[in-house]
Structure 1
Amino acid sequence: MKSLVFAFVMLAGGAIAAPDTSLRPVQRDSAGPQLEASGAITPRPRDAAAREAVGSGRGLAQSRRPEVRPRKFRRIARAQERLRKKGAVCGDVDIQGVVVGRVPGSKTGCGVADAVRIRAVSGIALSQHSVMDCGTAKALKTWIDDTAKPAFSRKGGGLKNIRVAAHYACRTRNNRPGGRISEHGKGRAIDISGLQMRDGTLVTVRSGWNDPATSKAMRQLHRGACGPFGTVLGPESDRFHRDHFHFDTARYRSGPYCR
């Protein structure tokens, strides 16, 4: 009798336990929505090709922006890039000019190993194409972008042109006989006498330095050059620089020399 009861219980337990297998979820058709790891739900496309694209990572999340740009826009972008690169020197498309190469000096200590002739920097034209080395050209770009443009952004429509008083010249400092060779003679210097705005307004160093309307901006130009350039001389440095800024890239152990 006990054995019959035991057999009945075992059979009943097996019958009761059998439905446990039905608690395991059945795999759904991949056409349904999919829960991403981030918690977002990505709808599944109906057709097989689209489902395959989603599974391979080329799904709807990337379909908002076409992988291939319209031909018209690609053509315009290439044309603009060619225009920018045409005339770029020193490995920077914002420094426009031509490569000069070696410039021999007529005096001992003069000359430039790898000179360039710059006509514009960051869209700002130079009044005369200026010969210098690439280190000086890049320092000039930093000064124009970080200081000169912001200083005159609200005056006369913004900066358009920089008046260059001097660039490369094989000469002594301040043209003194028997003096040391100037940084101008090494292609490391540029002298700036004024700045012209887009509306034609010209602000000169001589008149603008003490003019109440421009004195703040002019002093900003002087301070901002101290760092990108190793030597910065202005109207208050000496009698030789009353009408222009002298910037050069000579470096000193004690840091930039700015007066």
Structure 2
Amino acid sequence: MRARAGARLAGVAMVLIHAGCGLVAAAPETTPRPPLERGAELALTEVTEVSAVAATRTVPAPQMRPHIRPVSAQIIAAAARPVDLAPVAPGETLRPMMRTPEFEQQVLFGRAKRRRGSVCGDIDIQGEEAGDIPGKLRGCGARDAVRVRSVSGVTLSRPALMTCETAKALNKWVSRDVETAFGRSNRVVQLRVAAGYSCRTRNNRPGAKISEHGRGRAIDISGFTLESGTTVSVLKGWRDRSTRKALQRLWKAACGPFRTVLGPDADIYHRDHFHLDVARHRSGRYCR
């Protein structure tokens, strides 16, 4: 009995396996779907038709740039202005007129005149050549000396005799520091010269060495005249609060173009002027 029951089960199993193979081969194309409702069928049909029509149309590319802005009221008002009316800014900005040939000739003539009056090969140093200056004392004298009237447009209260090395140092000091020492609106226009070339000993002391003034390598400045007509003296200005700092800056700035600079704090001999010379020292510049 048991053998017959096993045979029957085996047969049923084979039938089920063959039936399962047939079903696997047909899925999922033949898998039954639930029927759509009537409203759903109509909606699906409409969506399909719209998609088909949209596919046949060419969709334009999106606009990437903003639209042109409307013309402003200012531009319209400017365009409506009468032609003969005065122009608005920046059209009314003042501009220099074109230089006339006559003006150019004056400039060239003035420059040529300055060139003829210059010495030491520098147009900013105005004066005349003085040649070799013989000395009355041993050690005095200067070679190829010049008599300077002005440097960088700043006149000297009297022409000063000196060497070109001294004149160039003076011009450098004046152009860089002196002109605007008391303000750009009140420039220095003249230097008060206390001494230039002078064949003598140092501080006029008997038996002392020959001064650099006796070699044309020194100049003494006792004051500065401004555009306003005011003269700032070294003697009084050095103690005056309103001018002391400016004079101190000038004294300090001179210790560069010149190798020896002596001021009111150096000694009693220089309390009323700046002594400036180009003498060389082994220890470097000497400024007191």
TM-score under structure 1 normalisation? Answer: 0.71
Q: What is the deviation of 1:166?
A: 0.3
Q: What is the deviation of 1:110?
A: 0.2
3-state SS in 1 of match to 2:235: helix
Q: Deviations over 1:12-69 (max 9, x none)?
A: xxxxxxxxxxxxxxxxxxxxxxxxxxxxxxxxxxxxxxxxxxxxxxxxxxxxxxxxx9
Residue in structure 1 matching 2:121, options 91, 100, 117: 91
Name the aligned partner's letter for residue 80 of structure 1.
G
Higher-strand-fraction structure: 1
| Residue 188 of structure 1 pairs with residue 188 of structure 2 | no
CA distance in 1, matches of 2:102, 2:155: 31
- Aligned counterpart, 2:157: 127
- Aligned counterpart, 2:235: 206
Q: What is the deviation of 1:198?
A: 1.0
Equivalent residue runs for 1:101-180 within 5 Å = 101-154=131-184, 157-180=186-209
Specify every segment of 5 or more residues in structure 1 that has no aligned partner in the other structure, as ranges: 1-68
Name the aligned partner's letter for residue 123 of structure 2.
V
How many residue pairs match? The answer is: 190
3-state SS in 2 of match to 1:151: coil
3-state SS in 2 of match to 1:108: coil
- Aligned counterpart, 1:247: 276
CA distance in 2, matches of 1:83, 1:113: 26
Q: Deviations over 1:63-109 (max 9, x none)?
A: xxxxxx97445423321222221310000111000000000000110
CA distance in 1, matches of 2:255, 2:249: 10
Q: Deviations over 1:129-148 (max 9, x none)?
A: 00000000000001101111
RMSD: 1.4
| Residue 80 of structure 1 pairs with residue 105 of structure 2 | no
CA distance in 1, matches of 2:134, 2:258: 24
Residue in structure 2 matching 1:237, options 266, 274, 282: 266
Q: What is the deviation of 1:197?
A: 0.5
| Residue 228 of structure 1 pairs with residue 257 of structure 2 | yes
Q: What is the deviation of 1:209?
A: 0.5
- Aligned counterpart, 1:57: none
Name the aligned partner's letter for residue 182 of structure 2.
F
Q: What is the deviation of 1:152?
A: 1.9
Name the aligned partner's letter for residue 128 of structure 2.
V
Specify every segment of 5 or more residues in structure 2 that has no aligned partner in the other structure, as ranges: 1-98
